[in-house]
Amino acid sequence: MLSLPRSTAECLRNHGIQISNSRKGNPYDNAYVESFFKTLKNEEIYLNEYETFNDAMENIGRFIEDVYNAKRMHSSLGYLSPIEFEELEEKLQIEAIL
């Protein structure tokens, strides 16, 4: 298990972040993150030439918020964007209450 300084692990827990460690020899534990970075590189970074670090940060942030989260379909979410998936989940939860 990954050993984090007590303050780091405590801070993560206090913010509701689950610490996740890959199992030795299991390449699938990190598949979602690897897929995200492949998409980010191929659909944003390799297609642009950034003038400054701030330019890169702004464009990458825009890509994540406006394209990856809002428009891009994800097979793991039933071919919905993350925003559409969250909206559907919220709607279903409200309907379940009613």
**Does 74 fall in a domain?**
yes
DSSP sequence for 41-69: HHHTGGG---SSHHHHHHHHHHIIIIIIT
pTM of the model: 0.62
State both tokens at 92: 């279903």
**Does 50 fall in a domain?**
yes
Residue 63: which region, alpha, beta or left (left: phi > 0; alpha: psi -120 to 50)? alpha
**Does 36 fall in a domain?**
no
Per the prediction, the chain carries an average pLDDT of: 86
**Does 82 fall in a domain?**
yes
Q: What is the pLDDT of residues 63-86, one digit of tens each?
A: 999 999 888 898 888 999 999 999
- Domain assignment of residue 49, given as a range: 44-97
Per-residue pLDDT at 22 exceeds 60:
yes
Region 24-43: mean pLDDT is: 82
Per-residue pLDDT at 25 exceeds 70:
no
Number of structural domains in the chain: 1
Per-residue pLDDT at 46 exceeds 70:
yes
**Does 25 fall in a domain?**
no
